[in-house]
Amino acid sequence: MAKKLMKGCEALGEAAIQAGCIHFFGYPITPQTEVPEYLSRRLPEVGGVYVQAESEVAASNMIYGCAATGVRVFTSSSSPGISLMAEAVSYMAGSQLPVVIVNIVRGGPGLGGILPAQSDYWQATRGIGHGDFRVIVLAPSTVQEAADLMIEAFDIADQYRNPVMIIGDGIIGQMMEPVEFKKREPRKLAEKNWAASGAKGRAANKIHSLFLDPVKLENHNILLKKKYDEVEKNEQRFELYNTQKPYELLIVAYGTMARICKTSIALLEEENISIALARPISLYPYPYQAIKEAARKAKQVLVVELSMGQMIEDVRLAVEGERPIHFYGRSGGMVPSPEEVCRELKRILAKKP
C-alpha cells in the first residue's frame, strides 16, 4: 500500500480496519474526535458498524458487549473520557476480553485543557480502574508507529485476552504525517471458544468477573497474574537511540517528548556533547531491564515528560538508585522546544553529578 498523508487520529482508525476490526463505539472528545468522525464515514464502506454512544461509560460497555461475542472491537477517547471508561475496563480485564482503547491524552486534572500532555501515565499504567489488573499500554512517537502498533494491538489483545491501550498525546492524534499500512504476519491465535455467541453444540459460556467465593477469586487473580508475567516476558518494547558510542547522560522519554529529545540530542552532538535516549514503547510492560542497562553506561539520567513527573517513578524502579535521576517536565499542554531541553541538559551537565 502506498504512503498517504494522514492525521494521527485518522491513521489509527484506518489501521484498525486494516487489522480486521470493523466495529467501533465511541463518543466525541477533543483531541480525538477525528477517530469517530473518520470511522463514521469509513466503516459503512467496509460493512462495519459505527455507533455513537451516549457517553464514554456507555461506549466502553458497548465494546465490552461486542468483544464478549468474540468480535474485534475498539473505542477511542481522551483523558476525561478514559476516566469514565475505567469502570468497563476493569470488567473487561476481569472477564478477560480482548479490546483496543485509543487514548489521546490531554492536559488535566479535571476538565483541564485540550492540548497535548502525558499526564495520564499513572492512570494508564496502574490499571485505570478498580481491582488487581493490568492494561497493556503502547506509546507511539510517530503517526507511522501509531498505525503499526494499532494493527498489532488487536493481535496482542486477542493473544492475551486483555485490553490493550494505544496512548498518544494530542500531537500524535492531530499531526499529519506520511503513513503506510503495512501487511504484517498475523500472530497465531487460538479460537475464541470462550465467547458468548450462542451455545450451539456446547455448554453455555458465561462472561463474568463475579466470584463470590474468595478462594475462586484469589485463583482468578493468580491466573491473571500468570498472564501478566507472560506479557512482561514477551511484550516489552523500547528504542535505544545514540547508545552505540559512550554517552554522558541518558534521557528517558516516550511518545512525542522522545521525538523532541532526539532533536535536542542532535543539537548537542554539534557541540560534542554525547547524550543517549531510551524510549519505552510499551509503558506496560515497562522495559525496566533495558533502562537499567542503558543507565549504567551513563553518569546520570534525565527523565523528560509532558507531566509533572509520572514515568520517573518507573525509571527509579529501573535504575534502583544506581545513578542520579533528574527530571524536566512541562504540563498543561505546554510542550518544550528542543532548545529548552538542551538548556536543561546543559544545566545538569554543568553541575558535578
Is 46 an interacting residue with respect to another protein (CB under 8 A)?
no
CA distance 128 to 322: 30
Measured from the CB atom, the residue of 52 and 300 that comes closer to another protein is: 52
Closest by Cα among 336, 60, 24, 269 to 9:
24
Is 62 an interacting residue with respect to another protein (CB under 8 A)?
yes
Binding part of the chain for another protein, among 51-59, 105-113, 140-148, 266-274 by CB under 8 A, reads: 51-59
CA distance 329 to 311: 11
Is 222 an interacting residue with respect to another protein (CB under 8 A)?
no
Measured from the CB atom, the residue of 51 and 318 that comes closer to another protein is: 51
Among 199, 213, 246, 321, binds another protein (CB under 8 A): 199
Place of cell 483496543: 100
Q: Are 268 and 241 in contact (CB under 8 A)?
A: no
Is 58 an interacting residue with respect to another protein (CB under 8 A)?
yes
Measured from the CB atom, the residue of 62 and 325 that comes closer to another protein is: 62
Binding part of the chain for another protein, among 37-45, 167-175, 205-213, 275-283 by CB under 8 A, reads: 205-213
Measured from the CB atom, the residue of 45 and 270 that comes closer to another protein is: 45
Q: Are 184 and 71 in contact (CB under 8 A)?
A: no
Specify the DSSP class assigned to residue 32: S
Among 18, 30, 40, 69, binds another protein (CB under 8 A): 69
Bin 3: left if φ > 0, else alpha if -120 < ψ < 50, else beta. beta
Is 135 an interacting residue with respect to another protein (CB under 8 A)?
no
Among 101, 157, 207, 260, binds another protein (CB under 8 A): 207
Measured from the CB atom, the residue of 64 and 228 that comes closer to another protein is: 64
* DSSP character string of 241-299: ES-SS--SEEEE--HHHHHHHHHHHHHHHTTT--EEEEEESEEES--HHHHHHHHHTSS
Is 25 an interacting residue with respect to another protein (CB under 8 A)?
yes
Q: Are 119 and 311 in contact (CB under 8 A)?
A: no
Among 19, 29, 66, 253, binds another protein (CB under 8 A): 66
Is 208 an interacting residue with respect to another protein (CB under 8 A)?
yes
Q: Are 136 and 194 in contact (CB under 8 A)?
A: no
* DSSP character string of 105-141: EB--STT--SSB--TTHHHHHTTSSSSS---EEE--S
Is 157 an interacting residue with respect to another protein (CB under 8 A)?
no
Is 290 an interacting residue with respect to another protein (CB under 8 A)?
no
Is 89 an interacting residue with respect to another protein (CB under 8 A)?
no
Please, what is the minimum distance in Å from the beta carbon of residue 101 to another protein? Answer: 14
Measured from the CB atom, the residue of 95 and 282 that comes closer to another protein is: 95
Measured from the CB atom, the residue of 58 and 348 that comes closer to another protein is: 58
Question: Hey, what's the cell of 17?
Answer: 480496519
Is 71 an interacting residue with respect to another protein (CB under 8 A)?
yes
Is 86 an interacting residue with respect to another protein (CB under 8 A)?
no
Among 28, 30, 37, 49, binds another protein (CB under 8 A): 49
3-6 long-range contacts, CB within 8 A, separation 24+: 3/178, 3/179, 3/180, 4/178, 4/179, 4/180, 5/176, 5/177, 5/178, 5/179, 6/143, 6/176, 6/177, 6/178, 6/179
Please, what is the minimum distance in Å from the beta carbon of residue 184 to another protein? Answer: 24
Is 209 an interacting residue with respect to another protein (CB under 8 A)?
yes
Measured from the CB atom, the residue of 199 and 215 that comes closer to another protein is: 199
Among 84, 196, 290, 334, binds another protein (CB under 8 A): 196
Question: Hey, what's the cell of 326?
Answer: 533528574
H or E segment to which residue 55 belongs: none
Can you give the binding site for another protein, defined by CB under 8 A? 23, 25, 49, 51, 53-55, 57-59, 61-71, 73, 87-88, 91, 95, 196-201, 204-210
